[in-house]
Every structure is written in structure tokens, then in C-alpha cells.
Structure 1
Amino acid sequence: MTSLSSIALSGLQAAQLQMDSSAHNIANLNTEGFHRQTVEQQAVPDGGVRASTRRADAAGSALAEDLVNQVAAGYAYKANLRVIETERRMAGALLDARA
């Protein structure tokens, strides 16, 4: 069984990859012939997520999509960070209760 922190860590990494990818797309918005990056996420059987980037087939921008991805990645990052914080708090409380 995978620990909560390693599952949440994979979520943090996926959110960071999404943030980086959409920032890259926004920075290259006016670059002629630029192909956007997209992030594909796949669930891992024992828990967590695997994320990778892929180059879009067609050149062009999607500013609205990239801005939404930035916001969504920020929320996902914060949510996964909360999971790690909560797991650590619970482990500390468990150790205090057993001491």
C-alpha cells in the first residue's frame, strides 16, 4: 500500500508540471508555428498519478485553456499539500497518544 504522502507528492508533481507547461504555452503565445504542450495524467494502480507532457499536433494557442489550467494547477497543488500536512499532523497526534 502506498502512503498518503507519496500519493499526494505525485499530485504535487503533476500540478507543478501542469503549471510549468501552461506557463511555457503562455510565454510562447505569439511565437509563430509554436505547438502547445499538454499534460496527460494517468492514475497509478497503487495510488497517485503519473503525469507527462505531450506536444500538440497542430500549431496555435489556447490562452483561455492555459489560464484555466494555471488556476486549476494552483488549487490541485494546495489540496495535495494539505493532504501531506494533515497526514503529518495525524501521525504526530498518534505518537503523542501512544507516548
Structure 2
Amino acid sequence: MSSVSLSTALSGISAANERLRASAHNTANLQTPGFRPERVVQTSLPEGGVVAGVERSQQVQVSAERELVEQRSATYSYVANLRVLQTQLRAEGALLDIKA
């Protein structure tokens, strides 16, 4: 299995997890006065994959609707990257079966 494709899928899973964590944190602080929500910024890596960083938003109000959409989106991204990882593992197993 290509280590690049493996690391790409794993970095996508990690980034989706960070997005979900930040959104849950924002939702938990929905009623906290003066709270500035966290936003996850993803940057593509030249060798493949992404790196996720967290920054504080300039706005001081958390939108429950936006956080719900972010949580759904992060969940779909997590599942999609997990499926890529599963497909890679299955393809590697099939290749080993053919060579054996």
C-alpha cells in the first residue's frame, strides 16, 4: 500500500475529527458571554493530505445552525476518508492474495 495514500486518508480523518471537536466546543459554549468560537483551518500538504489548525474567530456569537452544519460536514468527511482507507486496505489484501 502506498504510504502517501495511507497518510492522506489518515490526515483527512484527523482533520475531520478536529473539526468535530471544535464545533462541539463551540456548541457547548453557545450561551457563554463574550465567547469567540473556534474555527479549523485546513492546509493542503505538498506530499498529500492536510494539516488542520485551530484559530479563534473574530465574531463573538456562535450560530447553532452553522455548528450543526459543520458537525454533519465533518462527520461525512470522516466517513469518506475512512472508506478510502478501507478500500486501500482491501486492495492491498487482494494484491497479496494474487502474489501468494
State the alpha-carbon separation in 1 of the partners of residues 72 and 12 from structure 2: 15
SS at match of 1:54: strand
State the alpha-carbon separation in 2 of the partners of residues 85 and 33 from structure 1: 43
Q: Which amino acid aligns with 1:73?
A: A
Q: Which amino acid aligns with 1:56?
A: S
Q: Percent identity?
A: 44
Which residue is equivalent to 2:53? 52
State the alpha-carbon separation in 2 of the partners of residues 64 and 2 from structure 1: 38
Which residue is equivalent to 1:73? 74
Unaligned runs of 5+ in 2: none
State the alpha-carbon separation in 2 of the partners of residues 5 and 28 from structure 1: 35
Q: Which amino acid aligns with 2:59?
A: A
Conserved 8 A contact 2:4-2:47: no
**Residue 65 (structure 1) shift:** 1.1
Equivalent residue runs for 1:1-99 within 5 Å: 2-99=3-100
RMSD of the TM alignment (CA)? 1.1
Conserved 8 A contact 1:11-1:77: yes
State the alpha-carbon separation in 1 of the partners of residues 10 and 88 from structure 2: 12
Runs of 4+ residues deviating >4 angstroms? none
List per-residue Cα deviations over 1:32-90 (Å, max 9, x = no partner).
11000001011101110111110012311121111100000000000000111110100
SS at match of 1:33: coil
State the alpha-carbon separation in 2 of the partners of residues 56 and 34 from structure 1: 10
Normalising to structure 2: TM-score of the pair? 0.95
**Residue 3 (structure 1) shift:** 2.0
SS at match of 2:74: helix
Normalising to structure 1: TM-score of the pair? 0.96
List per-residue Cα deviations over 1:2-35 (Å, max 9, x = no partner).
5211100000000000000000000000001100
Aligned length in residues: 99
